[in-house]
């Protein structure tokens, strides 16, 4: 199966349809008047669909077992056609498009099975997805100009050349995948005055300033102490999202002191210095966090 461990859970919805076409009006009359020998077709088919959608992963190999939190089945009868409208909702890391189509197809097959004794020319057609919502595609942010970022690696050892930077490069790569331009990338020592100076200078021309490193518990880790006094607004929700995401994957994440806030119209983030910590922090809040630039634009009446 596709690896979805890096994704976050959001409200997902999908609606699919299938059409059952009978060959004579008598079949439609039998369905509507509950005269089919095998029983109530609409209710039996609906029940079969409800069972099917919850077990999609048992039939489709690449589907993940996911919590199904809402399902509805509706019917529209027009002429000799019975349209099935199947809707599924969940709060999870992946969508429910296949689940909705699987449910609709099983409803249609159940109707076929129940109606074939009285109608030998039934057809099933048009099994397709009507709409889907949720996930990354539903939280796209559009900007007239590309967001500009500055990335700083806070590490005495990397600055001295004793180690190679990896976390900063991961952040730059992630930003590029979201259409954010990293105009400045720099390795700096983990010193309070330097961090503050870089923040104030680059927040004037960049919408996003990210520091990686210096968020641990060592006396040399001073990135939070440097940033907190100069942030105009702190954003605890971003910090909580990063820690919660990391905690679900690595128990030591609770020790991280990630910081998020604003300086002018710039978003300032302090992320862990480990490669995995930086990567997971980016996965936790991007691209959704970029909605903050719409908020800051309205607050400051400036164009991005």
Torsion sign over Cα 246, 247, 251, 252:
positive
180 CA to centre of own chain: 18
Among 113, 156, 221, 283, the active-site one is 113
* Alpha helix (H) residue ranges in 203-273: 223-227, 236-247
Look up residue 5 and give its two tokens: 């461990």
The whole-angstrom separation of Cα 71 and Cα 13 is 10
Strands 10-21 and 81-92: antiparallel
Q: What is the dihedral of CA 257, 263, 266, 269, to 10 degrees?
A: -10
CA nearest to 221, candidates 197, 196, 250, 191: 191
Look up residue 21 and give its two tokens: 């076409």
Residue 283 appears among annotated catalytic residues? no
Strands 10-21 and 123-133: antiparallel
Active site residues: 113
């Amino acid at each position: 199966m596709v690896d979805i461990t890096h994704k976050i859970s959001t409200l997902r919805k999908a609606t699919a349809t299938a059409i059952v076409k009978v060959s004579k009006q008598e079949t439609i009359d039998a369905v509507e008047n509950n005269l089919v020998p095998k029983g109530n077709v609409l209710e039996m088919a609906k029940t079969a669909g409800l069972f099917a959608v919850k077990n999609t992963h048992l039939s489709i190999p690449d589907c993940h077992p996911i919590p199904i939190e809402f399902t509805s089945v509706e019917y529209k009868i027009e002429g000799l056609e019975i349209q099935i409208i199947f809707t599924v909702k969940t709060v999870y890391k992946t969508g429910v498009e296949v689940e909705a189509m699987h449910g609709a197809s099983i409803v249609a097959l159940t109707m076929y099975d129940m109606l074939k004794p009285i109608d030998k020319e039934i057809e099933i057609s048009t099994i397709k997805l009507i709409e889907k919502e949720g996930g990354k595609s539903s939280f796209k942010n559009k900007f007239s100009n590309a967001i500009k970022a500055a990335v700083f690696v806070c590490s005495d050892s990397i600055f001295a050349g004793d180690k190679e930077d990896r976390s900063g490069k991961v952040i730059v790569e992630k930003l590029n995948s979201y259409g954010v331009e990293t105009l400045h990338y720099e390795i700096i020592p983990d010193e309070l005055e330097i961090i503050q100076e870089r923040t104030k200078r680059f927040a004037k021309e960049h919408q996003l300033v990210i520091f990686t490193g210096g968020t641990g518990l060592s006396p040399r880790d001073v990135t939070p102490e440097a940033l907190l006094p100069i942030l105009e607004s702190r954003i605890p929700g971003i910090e909580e999202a990063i820690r919660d995401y990391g905690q679900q994957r690595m128990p030591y994440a609770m020790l991280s002191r990630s910081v998020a806030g604003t300086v002018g119209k710039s978003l300032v983030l302090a992320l862990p210095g480990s490669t995995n910590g930086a990567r997971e922090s980016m996965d936790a809040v991007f691209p959704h966090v970029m909605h903050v630039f719409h908020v800051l634009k309205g607050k400051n009446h400036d164009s991005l």
